[in-house]
Amino acid sequence: MKSRPYGYPISQPNERRSSFDNHIQRRLSALRNQFADGKAYQAMLDSGDALVYEVYENRRPEVAGELLSGLSIVHPGCVGNEYFMTKGHYHSVRETAEIYFCMEGKGVLVMESEAGETAVEEFYPGRVVYVTPRWAHRSINTGGEDLVTFFVYPGHAGHDYATIDATGFRKRVLDHGGVPTIVDNPEWSGVNA
């Protein structure tokens, strides 16, 4: 881990992987119960555990005063008519925010608060999305190429995946004839973990 100020390139695809010291792969099996069409999910899983998204990051201490950053790459694809997405999470420390900068691809960031508010912001190259404190967030790739975003959040924020695993998101993004469509999630439980 570096103890002095440093920089690293992220603008070229071949530079990206070498700029980070931690790589996380999330396969379809890690998103069980996240997609609406359970039969399509199982059929896709039976034919191979597809790589849905990857995260590249530099390890830093997970403490206040540090910033954690990296790249999220959501690959193109659908389960049934629902686009590939990240698991989505709240921050364990709810009073922490996050910034996303879209470098490539297109998609949306679906967000919701525990108070019941929802928001959806578009991702396209050059666009920044600011996630305010107390909002869960999930990246969804609505295009035909990788959705690549650079993210930054406070080192002590942590990730709370359990709440989303228990309740789901209030909104889903479905492909209706090639058009991304935001719909209510009829399976949203409303019961917080």
Residue-wise pLDDT for 106-129, tens only, equals: 999 999 999 999 999 999 999 999
pLDDT digits (tens, 9 = 90+) for 128-176: 999 999 999 999 999 999 999 999 999 999 999 999 999 999 999 999 9
Q: What percent of the chain has pLDDT over 70?
A: 95
What CATH class has 13-184? mainly beta
Has this prediction a pTM greater than 0.85? Answer: yes
First-to-final CA distance of the chain: 34
**Cα gap 14→12, rounded to integer Å:** 6
